[in-house]
């Protein structure tokens, strides 16, 4: 895997999301934020995540979708349960994944982070292939950007978010933490 100049990663499935914008002038990618997502909740493999990130989620397709269909969110990457890696936003742009957030006294984590979604939930273990792909992705991100920390969404939005959840094995990434 390697990055093109615009922040797209070679060798992953590209799905453009318009839920992004320019990073503030001088912003440097220093943080990786790990999330989990499943749509509908607890179900894997369907089109819901892609539809949400591309503003095509049908509120009639599932009762849960009625309350989230109008949200404008995205992430830089999604790692599916089978290990497929999708990229929605080039890393040079700001994806809308963190929401109201703060890390080490700095607010607006979207400004200086890359968001990685793992297809999963707070109450189920992740797949071995997801850890393998995540480790590879973290390695190439650290080669390209001065990554200082890798955190869960729950760490930058405590009390508001719980992902990646108790089943995420942080020890699998300890080698990458600074």
Assign 74 to helix, strand or coil.
Answer: coil
Q: Name the catalytic one among 43, 51, 117, 132.
A: 117
CB atoms within 10 A of CB 76: 30
Rg (CA), the chain: 15
117 annotated active-site:
yes
DSSP summary character for residue 3: B
Of 40, 36, 68, 72, the C-alpha closest to 54 is: 72
CA angle 88, 89, 90 (to 5 degrees): 130
Q: How far apart are CA 33 and CA 97, in angstroms?
A: 9
- Catalogue the active-site residues: 117
């Amino acid at each position: 895997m390697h990055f093109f100049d615009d922040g797209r990663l070679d060798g992953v499935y590209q799905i453009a999301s318009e839920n992004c914008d320019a990073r503030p002038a001088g912003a440097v990618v220093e943080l990786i934020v790990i999330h989990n997502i499943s749509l509908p909740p607890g179900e894997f493999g369907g089109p819901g995540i892609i539809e949400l990130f591309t503003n095509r989620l049908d509120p009639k397709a599932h009762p849960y979708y009625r309350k989230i269909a109008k949200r404008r969110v995205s992430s830089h990457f999604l790692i599916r349960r089978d290990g497929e890696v999708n990229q929605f936003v080039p890393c040079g742009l700001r994806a809308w994944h963190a929401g109201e957030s703060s890390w080490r006294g700095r607010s607006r984590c979207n400004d200086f982070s890359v968001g990685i979604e793992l297809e999963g939930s707070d109450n189920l273990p992740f797949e071995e292939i997801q850890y393998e792909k995540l480790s590879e992705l973290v390695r190439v991100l650290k080669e390209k950007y001065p990554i200082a920390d890798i955190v869960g969404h729950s760490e930058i939005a405590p009390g508001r978010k719980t992902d990646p959840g108790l089943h995420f094995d942080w020890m699998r990434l300890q080698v990458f933490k600074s």
